[in-house]
Structure 1
Amino acid sequence: MSLPPDAITALEVFQGAAGWEQRARLLMQWGERLTALDDADKVEANRVHGCESQVWLVASLENGHWQFAAASDARLIRGLVALLLARVNGLTAQQLREVDLADWFNQLGLSRQLSPSRSNGLNAVLQRMGELAL
C-alpha cells in the first residue's frame, strides 16, 4: 500500500534523525503542528476511551477518503497522534483497516519508546478511527 505524502515526509524526517533525543524533539514539533480542535469538539462523544491521556478525535469523509483531526492534553501523545494522522489521513475505510500501527512506529524508529500504555492508547485511537469510518 502506498503511503500518504505526510507519511512519506514523516518517514524521511524520523529515519534521518540521529538518536532518540532528536526523535523526541521531532515528536514534540509534530505535535505542535496538529490543528487545534474547537472547544465544541472537545466533548465526551469525541473522547477516545482507552487512553490514559485525554484524546479527542473527529472525522470527516471527503470523496471516499477519511480526514481526521485530534487533540490531546499530553505533549508526547500529541506528537504520536500527529504521526498517526500523517499515516491515515486521506485513506479509504478499507485502507484504514489495513494500517499496522506497530509497523508504522517501528519504521519511524519510535517503537522502543512506546510504553504498553501509550501503545494501547494509540491502538484505541486507531480502533476509534475504524469505528468512525464504518
Structure 2
Amino acid sequence: MASAAFEDLVETFAFLDDWEDRYRHVIEMGRALPPMDEALKLPATKVNGCASQVWLVPTVEDGRFDFAGDSDAMIVKGLIAVLHALYAGAPVGEVPKIDAAAELKRLNLHDHLSSQRSNGLRAMVDRIRLVAGQAA
C-alpha cells in the first residue's frame, strides 16, 4: 500500500490537466528536497544505470526507511522526490515488497519519460530495494 504522501501525489496528478503541469510539479518537488551534503556524493552512493548522476543515501530509524537523494538533473531530482513520497517512512522490511512499477503506473510516468529516464528510475528503485533489504 502506498504512503499518504504518495496518495497525495496521485491526487495532485489527477487534478493537473496536462503533462506540462505534471512535469513542472515533479521538478518543483525535486527543488523542495533538502540539499544533500556533498561529502555523501561518493562512488558507493552513486546509482549506476542512470544517464544523469544520481546519489541515494539510505537511513533506517526506529525500523522506518528513509533516504536522502540528489541528482545533477532537475527532472531526475524530481523523480527522486516521487520515490521519496513512495518509500519514506515505510517499515524497512516492507520496502522490498512495495510494487513500485504498479504504483508509478498510477502516475503514467513511463508514458512520458524517455527510455533513459525510465531505465534510471528502475535503477533507483532497484537500489532502494537492495539497501532496504540489506538493512532489514
The answer to whether the superposition gives a TM-score over 0.5 is yes
Match of 2:25 in 1: 26
Q: Is the counterpart of residue 90 in structure 1 residue 57 in structure 2?
A: no
- 1:109 positional shift: 3.1
- Whole-Å separation in 2 of the counterparts to 1:75 and 1:100: 25
Written as runs of structure 1 = structure 2, the 5 A alignment for 1:39-118 is: 39-118=38-117
User: For 1:29 and 1:56, how far apart are their aligned partners in 2?
Assistant: 19
Residue correspondences, number: 133
Q: In 1, Cα distance between the equivalents of 2:62 and 2:108?
A: 33
TM-score (norm 2): 0.90
Q: List gaps (5 residues or longer) in structure 1.
A: none
Contact 1:66 1:91 in 2 (8 A): yes
- Alignment correspondent of 1:132: 131
SS of the equivalent of 1:94 reads coil
Gaps of 5+ in 2: none
RMSD value, Cα: 1.3
Work out the CA distance in 2 between the residues paired with 1:9 and 1:116: 26
Structure 1's consecutive aligned runs of 4 or more residues displaced over 6 angstroms after TM superposition are: none
Distance (Å, rounded) in 2 between the aligned partners of 1:38 and 1:93: 23
CA offset digits 1:25-72 (Å, max 9, x no partner): 111111111111001111111101111100000011111111111000
